[in-house]
Amino acid sequence: MQSSHWAKIGEAGFLSGMKLMFAIYHRLGRWPFRLVLYPVLAWYVLTNAIARHASKDYLTRLHRASAGHTPPPTLANIYRHFTAFAEMMLDKLLVWSGDLDRVIYAIENPGVLRDRMAAGQGAVIVTAHIGNAELCRVLAREKSSIRLNVLVHTPQAQRFNQLMRELNPASQIDLIQVSDISAATAMLLAERVEAGEFVVIAGDRVPLSDSNAHASGIVEVDFLGAAAPLPFGPYLLASLFKCPLIGMIACRRNNCFHITLATLAERVVLPRQNRRAAAAEPAQAFAAMMAKECSTAPFQWFNFFPFWTR
C-alpha cells in the first residue's frame, strides 16, 4: 500500500501561481520566468521531503539500471529534476494557449495513428508523465480530423485544465474528469472509439480508487529493475472496446520535443480468468517504452511520489 497517494501530494503546490508565471513569460520571456521561479523551486525541493526522496529514489534506480550512464542522485540533480518539471509546466501552458509555433517537435512512427484514422478505427492511447503529454494537441493540429478524449483523474488536474481552457477555448480535445471509470463512462468512451475517436489515458499512475492495490486495480511490471504497479485501466478499456492499444510519449530532448508512437497491441484480450496475467504483456511493453525514454531523457519523468512502494 502506498504511504501517500500521488493525487494528494503531486503537482498541487505548483498550480496556484502558474497563471502569474505564464504572464511573466509572455511579457518578459523565458529567462525572467526562470529567475522568478527557481528560488521558489529550491525552497519547494528543500521542504517537500516526500517529493525530494521520490526523485532521489527514481534517479538512483535509473542510474543503476543504466549502468551509470544517467546522472547520479545528487542534490543538484534532484533540483535539476524539479527544474525540468517546472519548465514542463510552462510548456503545457504554451501548448494549450495555442502557441505551437514556438514548439519544435518530431513525430516518430506517425503512421501508427494515420493508418488507424484512414481505416476509421479508434484506439486507446496510453501515455505517461514523461515530458509533456499535452503535446498530443500537436497531433490534433497535424490531423484536424483527429478527436482525442483525455481522461484526467484529480481535482488538481481539473483546475489546471480549466486554466488551460481559459488560455485557449478552442480545442480538438475533450477532457473527461473521472475519479473512477463507471459503466456509463465506459459506454460513452466505447461509442467514441467506435466512431473513430481516440481515448487517451495515463498508464503510470494508479487512480486514487485503486490506491489500496486491489487485485483488479493494478498490473505489476518490471520497471528500472524492480516490480512496479501500473494501472489496469488502459488494458481493460482496450479489451472492452475491442480496439488497438497505442503507446505515446512526448518527451523533451534538448530543445526538441520527440513524440514517440508505438502499437502495443492490435487487440487486448482479457479472459475472465487471470485478467491481470493477460494484461501483463502489453503493460510490460509500455514499461519498456517508458524505461527507454527515461534513459534518453532522465530528468523528464515526473512522478514525485513513492512509485515503487505499495
The model's pTM is 0.83
Domain that holds residue 208: 6-296
Output helix, strand, coil percentages for the chain, rounded to the nearest 5.
50, 20, 30
Does residue 307 lie within any of the structural domains? no
In the chain, the number of structural domains is: 1
pLDDT at residue number 52: 93
Does residue 83 lie within any of the structural domains? yes
Half-sphere exposure of 132 (CA within 13 A, CB side): 27
**CA gyration radius, the chain:** 19
- Asked whether residue 213 carries a pLDDT value surpassing 50, the answer given is no
Of the candidates 229, 232, 213, which has an alpha carbon nearest to the alpha carbon of residue 221?
229
DSSP 204: S
Does residue 117 lie within any of the structural domains? yes
pLDDT, mean over the chain: 81
Does residue 285 lie within any of the structural domains? yes
Q: What is the pLDDT of residues 264-278, one digit of tens each?
A: 999 999 988 888 889
Does residue 240 lie within any of the structural domains? yes
- When pLDDT is cut at 50, 70 and 90, the band that residue 162 belongs to is low
Does residue 291 lie within any of the structural domains? yes
Does residue 71 lie within any of the structural domains? yes
Cα separation, 120 vs 197, whole angstroms: 8
The enclosing domain of 255 has a CATH number of 3.40.1130
Does residue 249 lie within any of the structural domains? yes
Share of the chain above pLDDT 90, in %: 38
Cα separation, 114 vs 14, whole angstroms: 36
